[in-house]
Each structure stands twice: as C-alpha cells, then as structure tokens.
Amino acid sequence: MIFITAKFRVKPEHADNWPEISRAFTEATHAEPGCLWYDWARSLADPNEYVLVEAFRDDDAGAAHVGSDHFKTAQRELPPYLAETPRIVNAKVDQDDWSELGELAVK
C-alpha cells in the first residue's frame, strides 16, 4: 500500500473550521475504491495544525486519487486556508492494514 502522512498548517482564523472546509474532499476521497483510509487529527501541540493519515491500495489507486476531479478542486480551493505548503511523508509499505502495537498490548 501507499502510506502517507501529511501536516497541514491552517491559518489561525480557519483552524476551527478546517474539518468543514475540507469535508467535501475528505468524503470524496473516502469514497474512492482504492482508498484504505483517510483520517484527519488535530495536533495537540499546535491547534492550527492538522495531521492527515491516509493509505491507498496501490500505485493505481494513488494515481486515481491524484487524477480525480475532487483532487483538482482541492488544489484550487484549499490553499487559501493554509499558512504554508503542507509537509508530507510518502512510503510504500508491504501490508494492507494497521498492525497491532504489541509493546502496548491490551490484556
């Protein structure tokens, strides 16, 4: 799978509304057949930063995502709400779901 984590620094005046601002893009991405997950979380250290954790089945699914109409719309509509260009880590991982964190196993 393609595993991606990205950090989005949102302008302070838009930070509380980011989930609604990005909702259409998020919902459309969730609906893609190759999307394994696409989850936003707000940073505890910086209330203006959102962390996106996403995964796509394979290269074809990743290409379909980047080539989608909703991706192109997001490229036009989301940057005005951002304080800076998002930062990203993108890696191919030889698995298709989350693994358990054995060191913190619940017994």
Provide the token pair at 53.
């954790």
What does pTM read for this prediction?
0.92
- pLDDT at position 98 is 95
State the Cα–Cα distance between residues 47 and 92, nearest whole angstrom.
29
Q: Which of 4, 7, 32, 10 is nearest to 78 (CA)?
A: 10
Query: DSSP labels for 8-41?
Result: EEB-GGGGGGHHHHTHHHHHHHHTSTTEEEEEEE
Strand order in the sheet with 35-42: 35-42, 49-56, 2-9, 87-92
State the Cα–Cα distance between residues 91 and 94, nearest whole angstrom.
10
Averaged pLDDT of the chain: 97
- pLDDT at position 64 is 97
- pLDDT at position 104 is 95
Question: Per residue in 48-100, pLDDT tens?
Answer: 999 999 999 999 999 999 999 999 999 999 999 999 999 999 999 999 999 99
- pLDDT at position 96 is 93
